[in-house]
Each structure stands twice: as structure tokens, then as C-alpha cells.
Homo-oligomer: A and B are copies of this chain.
């Protein structure tokens, strides 16, 4: 049913945004919405929206628009949110702790382990998950099924951690370290490079001021 061939990265990157807006609409008890109304909210053109959603199947009805809950469920399912994911955090510094406190469980992400090398942190619990010694990581990966690892260690340790995760079967890494990880093709990495985002902002700020 779903047409998943040759979906461009640009479309994929927009899916979570649809997901967020549809969730908001549901929370505001909106039952249905036209691509035009959705366009006004989300900022993509109506034809862009129709095109995007057509990549994945036939949503929406002429003259009716989209059923919000149905579209939300479909996009959730396309994103893979109809499953649960076991996650771990490696690196319980500032950013690791912040991520641990995020309520990603709402979206189906179960945090099952947190690891750090700092003896002072070991044993501390964040949302019921105790921080373990990073030396336990390998055993933990062998004994537990981990779907996604969040790397929040300093730059110099990130590749080493990544190697250990990959060799023990982790297929998805959410990387907060300011480094591009070298991983095999069957491993997916999504980077959150904060400094790069801030530098982009500064560049655009200066361009805007020159106008």
C-alpha cells in the first residue's frame, strides 16, 4: 500500500514536522483539515503538502481534506512509531542528563540504560534509570536488546563508543558529539551538532543585518 520508493531526504525531514503539527491539532480537538489550512499552520505550500503525503499513499479526500487522527496515525506508522524502541544514553554529562530527562517515552522510546566513565555519577538515578559504569556497556549490550544509542560523550571518546555499540549490534545512533562518526552502511546515524547550528544562526544574523 505504501509507496516508499525514492523518497527524498527533504520529504523525510518534513515528516516529523507533520507529526508534530497533527499532534497539536488533535490536542486542540480538530478532526479534519484541508491541505490549505494545514499549509497556513505549518508553512509549507498546500501543493507541497499534497505532494509530500502522496509519496506514502493516498491520504485525504477531495472536498473533505484530511482526517487528522487518521493522518497522524499513518504518519506515526510511516515513521515507525507503531513500535517501541529500547534506548540507552552513553555519556551522562550535561547534555546526556538533559536528554535522559526528556519525555521521549511518550513517543515509544524506553530508556533502559545510562552509562558514564565518571565514578561520581555512577549509581545516580535519572527518571528511575541508574547510571552505570561505562565498563559495563559491553555486557549490557550483549544481555539487552538496544535499538538506539544516544552518544553524549566528549568528542575524543565518541568514535570509540560508537565502535563498541556497532560491534555489539546497535543499528541506530543519535550523536550529540561534535564529530562525524565512521560506521558501517547498515548503521544509521543522526547528528545533533549544536555548535554548527549556532554558527549557522550567527551567519544568518550577520547577513540579515547587512540588508
Contact = CB atoms under 8 A, between A and B. Distances in A.
Interface in A1-58: 4, 12-13, 15-17, 19-20, 42-43
A199 interface: yes
A148 B199 contact: no
How big is the A interface, by class? 35 or more
Interface of A: 4, 12-13, 15-17, 19-20, 42-43, 78-81, 85, 93-95, 97-99, 101-102, 104, 107, 109, 147-148, 171-172, 174, 178, 180, 186-190, 192-209, 211
Given A12-B203, A94-B98, A180-B43, A198 B171 contact: no
B188 A147 contact: no
A207 B207 CA distance: 38
Chain A residues touching B, majority SS: helix
A86 B188 CA distance: 37
A165 B34 CA distance: 33
A16 B199 contact: yes
Contacts of A208: 171, 186-188
B202 A148 contact: yes
A64 to B, nearest CB: 26
Nearest to A211: B186
B79 A147 contact: no
B4 A199 contact: no
Nearest to A87: B198
